[in-house]
Structure 1
Amino acid sequence: MNSAVTTLWEEAGFPEQTVIQRAVSDPLLAGQSVVGIAPTGSGKTLAYGIPVLTRLVPNLGPQLLIIVPAQELAIQIRDVLTPLAHRLNLGVLGLIGSANRQRQIDRLKGKPAVIVATLGRLADLIDERKLRLVDIKTVIVDEFDSFETEDITTIRHMRQDGLLAGANLGLFSATRNDDDIAAFREFWPDLQVFDEIKTDDTRGPVTHYLLDRQFEGKVQFLERLGREKHQRVFVFFNHKHIMQKVAGSLRFTHVPYSLLATDGRQVQRAEALGDFRRGRTNLLLTTDVAARGLDVADVTAVVNFELPNNITTYIHRTGRTGRMGESGTVYNMGNDHDLRDLRHLLGDSVTLVAEKPLVKKREQDDETNDENTPSTDSHDRARTRPASDKMPARKPTAAKSHNKRKQRWRNKKNVGKHW
């Protein structure tokens, strides 16, 4: 390992490299093409970022191209690599669809060495001849298994058209898709696969719960979780209209939350993610597309408000908790049919626990009494008591009546207030 790489690892605060970082570092330094598979949170961004940065030359223009599926992921990677690149006098530029196009074009004139881009904005600037890729040394496709077939075809055409003729390739994700790897291998035949899912040691213990809930029960569970102290929770949805409906319910009950949607303005999305990262809100409501690849520290739990349709999505969602040796929790909510389908989908890959967490002891005792004690009304209780013990029902005291009137006034006063 050369001195520049050692310096960057020290700057990044990694006294020891993770399994995936050790596996791909030397091949990338040598300009070889690699596939890196490792769990979410295992340090894949630095695994490719640090060795590749040391191969770049200042003031030469774009030499490292990182293609990502989501705008927030592009911003995250840009922010991670920028301080490291500055130590080597290299510039980093993010190209995303929601940002000002002309400002991005102007910044390209500064010859940044690193481009982090979503595919749509990247293709537009290439077609307009605003971005030249002739000096690209390495192409990284992060979260490669989330790209559609047509997206992969677009990247392959860049290679076929000579735009990436001299570049080696890096594919990185938390799950392995052999079909996608085969598609890229047609144009990068020397791809070496480093699958470190089983050897990675960064994951902590994670408990996966099954919660039998209908819609209202799911919302009530989120309300309680959102009020718990020291919680940082990803809440995943399959449909944006369901997410918006849940957000409205949380507003009505004054539960703070952040919402990350792909159709929101960039400023709004950045503010929502910032509030969640800084602990101003406990809940981040999001979809898979909006949150793909996001790295947030100290996520205590993941909630699948709507269950995923495939195991790849489940792995990406749940990989956000239990990172770097910390414990984590996953709550899967649905009806009996949904949960049965999830068991079948996951098979033996995940141990699922049917349990009801977050139930306070008093409520558990109440449920136990309701189930094990025969239901009796006041007439039954009076009939079982000796005649001499019968006492007239007490009327409410003046203090109790005053408190009830006061509570009704408070409820009326707070109607319509939102967080």
Structure 2
Amino acid sequence: MNSGDKSNKKFPDFREIGIIPALLKILDANSITRPTPIQHQAIGMVLEGKDMIGIAQTGTGKTFAFGLPMLQQLAAGKKRGLIILPTRELAYQVEDALKPYANALGIKTAVFVGGASMQLQRQMIKQNPRILIATPGRLNDHLQKRTVSLKEVEILVLDEADRMLDMGFKPQINKILEHVPRERQTLLFSATMAQEIVQLATAQMRMPLRIEVAPTGTTAEKVEQELIIVRQQNKLTLLKSLLKEHSGQVLVFSRTKHGARKVTRALNEDKFHAAEIHSNKSLVQRRKSLEGFKKGTYRILVATDIASRGIDVTNIALVINYDLPDDPIDYIHRIGRTGRAEREGLAISFATPTQARNIRDIERLIRAPIPRRQHESLTPVSMENGPDTSQRHRRSSGRRPAQRSSGSRKPRRDSSRNSRPKKSLGKRKFKRK
């Protein structure tokens, strides 16, 4: 079964798709009355115990699509659920979203990620949590030390599976799956249906149903996109000009940790109130920056791609790609951070004159041109026809671009460990100061 996006239909409320009163009460208290497209399609299937593949971008409501029916099944007698995700930020984000509902049912949750105390996590295991939320690296640590058992897992969720495979965690995932009972329900969520995802589903799932709320490569409907051609040395000046023009919270993406530090320092020198989040920051520092951004202590958050996966803030007004991503799919993930919860958003990307190929790759993926814009603070710049020097920059940066082949690859360092983790868009009006 392959269900398409039925986003134009008015969906029934959560009661009509089988959610129990205890969970409905909390949904109502949070003014959440109707499911998103993926929640509408997935919840019934999950409650029926079916294996499922969900193809959806970030910001579509995936967490409740698997989390609410998982909680409901555990309340009905299933023993334990396991949620595996690529980064520690995302793990905490999922726990924060599900915890009020779990508490209402008397179900304990536990997060196992790197950067946190192994001893504390061992104590959490003794409290018999019914839902384990973990990143591949730290969960493997516990399995190797035999401090956790997965024998009672009856519902397994692989969230952002494509990202985990891109980050090189296939061996860790396979090792985890060896410890999970074969007789289980498996739910896999991914932004793309790459060949590796197909292979994983074929090997580990039982006749999975597939739902897709947006075709692979589509971008958020409510996000206006703009592209500004700018020389590298003028990017910081342009960024500051844009921040003065636009109100609201802003998420800025840098390709490297060094770049994120440099941009954050420069913004704070000019009193812009910025925080940074990247894999050189400790778990405590990253959570503090993210919480400060959510609460409005910081108006601007500067992030790298690997560190940004747990950022789920509904009121981000503007996303700025200070650097274009190495992998075009990251462009979709980045701009999907704005335009959430029926709000309109704006995404502005900076490209240097030598990045014509990078732009073509992104536009080919999203199947639409990105409108060009000239900013008044800049001297007009044209694209160059010479070689794309961004490739040379990548090689010298020490970071390998994401690969999508099905062959073996060297894992990136796990951000979960104690280390550094078709729809064409028309022009939409965006309110400026």
Q: Structure 2: how far apart are the matches of 1:345 and 1:169?
A: 32
Alignment of 1:94-105 (within 5 A): 94-105=111-122
The structure that is helix-richer by fraction is: 1
Alignment of 1:5-404 (within 5 A): 6-7=24-25, 9-10=27-28, 13-57=31-75, 63-148=80-165, 150-159=168-177, 161-198=178-215, 203-228=220-245, 230-339=247-356, 341-347=358-364, 349-356=367-374, 359=376
Measured after TM superposition, the shift of residue 111 of structure 1 is 0.7
Indicate if the aligned counterparts of 2:19 and 2:69 stay in contact, CA closer than 8 A.
no
- Name the SS of the counterpart of 1:83 in structure 2: helix
- Name the SS of the counterpart of 1:235 in structure 2: strand
Match for 2:48: what amino acid?
A
Q: Structure 1: how far apart are the matches of 2:234 and 2:93?
A: 34
Measured after TM superposition, the shift of residue 340 of structure 1 is 5.1
Indicate if the aligned counterparts of 2:328 and 2:361 stay in contact, CA closer than 8 A.
no
Q: Structure 1: how far apart are the matches of 2:219 and 2:71?
A: 24
Residues 253 and 202 from structure 1, CA distance in 2 versus in 1: closer, same or farther, beyond 3 angstroms?
A: closer
Match for 1:259: what amino acid?
E
Indicate if the aligned counterparts of 1:69 and 1:119 stay in contact, CA closer than 8 A.
yes
Measured after TM superposition, the shift of residue 234 of structure 1 is 1.4
- Name the SS of the counterpart of 1:254 in structure 2: coil
Match for 1:55: what amino acid?
Q
- Name the SS of the counterpart of 2:196 in structure 1: helix
Q: CA-to-partner distance for each residue in 1:162-214, whole Å, 9 max, x for gaps?
A: 53323211111333324223223212142221111159x99543221111112
Indicate if the aligned counterparts of 2:54 and 2:210 stay in contact, CA closer than 8 A.
yes
Q: Structure 1: how far apart are the matches of 2:345 and 2:19?
A: 37
Moved more, 2-11 or 295-304: 2-11
Measured after TM superposition, the shift of residue 68 of structure 1 is 0.9
Indicate if the aligned counterparts of 2:278 and 2:286 stay in contact, CA closer than 8 A.
yes
Q: Structure 2: how far apart are the matches of 1:309 and 1:346?
A: 14
Match for 2:175: what amino acid?
H
Q: Structure 2: how far apart are the matches of 1:7 and 1:356?
A: 50
Residues 284 and 2 from structure 1, CA distance in 2 versus in 1: closer, same or farther, beyond 3 angstroms?
A: closer
Indicate if the aligned counterparts of 2:95 and 2:133 stay in contact, CA closer than 8 A.
yes
Match for 2:367: what amino acid?
S
TM-score where L is the length of structure 2: 0.76
Indicate if the aligned counterparts of 1:33 and 1:191 stay in contact, CA closer than 8 A.
yes
Indicate if the aligned counterparts of 1:136 and 1:166 stay in contact, CA closer than 8 A.
no
Q: Structure 2: how far apart are the matches of 1:326 and 1:203?
A: 11
Residues 124 and 11 from structure 1, CA distance in 2 versus in 1: closer, same or farther, beyond 3 angstroms?
A: farther
Q: Structure 1: how far apart are the matches of 2:299 and 2:208?
A: 41
Match for 2:288: what amino acid?
E
Measured after TM superposition, the shift of residue 11 of structure 1 is 5.0
Number of residues paired by the alignment?
A: 359
Q: Structure 1: how far apart are the matches of 2:170 and 2:203?
A: 12
Measured after TM superposition, the shift of residue 287 of structure 1 is 0.7
Measured after TM superposition, the shift of residue 156 of structure 1 is 2.9
Q: Structure 1: how far apart are the matches of 2:369 and 2:296?
A: 30
- Name the SS of the counterpart of 2:355 in structure 1: helix
Q: CA-to-partner distance for each residue in 1:93-139, whole Å, 9 max, x for gaps?
A: 11110111111111111111111111111111111111111111111
Q: CA-to-partner distance for each residue in 1:351-384, whole Å, 9 max, x for gaps?
A: 3111135x5xxx79xx99xxxxxxxxxxxxxxxx
Q: Choose 1 or 2 for highest CA Rg.
A: 1
Structure 1: segments with no counterpart, 5+ residues: 369-419
Indicate if the aligned counterparts of 2:276 and 2:301 stay in contact, CA closer than 8 A.
yes
Match for 2:66: what amino acid?
Y
Measured after TM superposition, the shift of residue 331 of structure 1 is 1.1
Q: Structure 2: how far apart are the matches of 1:314 and 1:203?
A: 11
Q: Which runs of 4+ in 1 moved over 6 A?
A: none
Match for 2:371: what amino acid?
V
Give the superposed CA RMSD. 2.6
Q: CA-to-partner distance for each residue in 1:138-173, whole Å, 9 max, x for gaps?
A: 1111111111365233323333x3533232111113
Residues 164 and 148 from structure 1, CA distance in 2 versus in 1: closer, same or farther, beyond 3 angstroms?
A: same
Measured after TM superposition, the shift of residue 13 of structure 1 is 3.4
Match for 1:27: what amino acid?
M
Q: Structure 2: how far apart are the matches of 1:272 and 1:230?
A: 20
Q: Structure 2: how far apart are the matches of 1:235 and 1:229?
A: 13
| Structure with the larger RCO, 1 or 2 (CA within 8 Å, 6+ apart) | 2
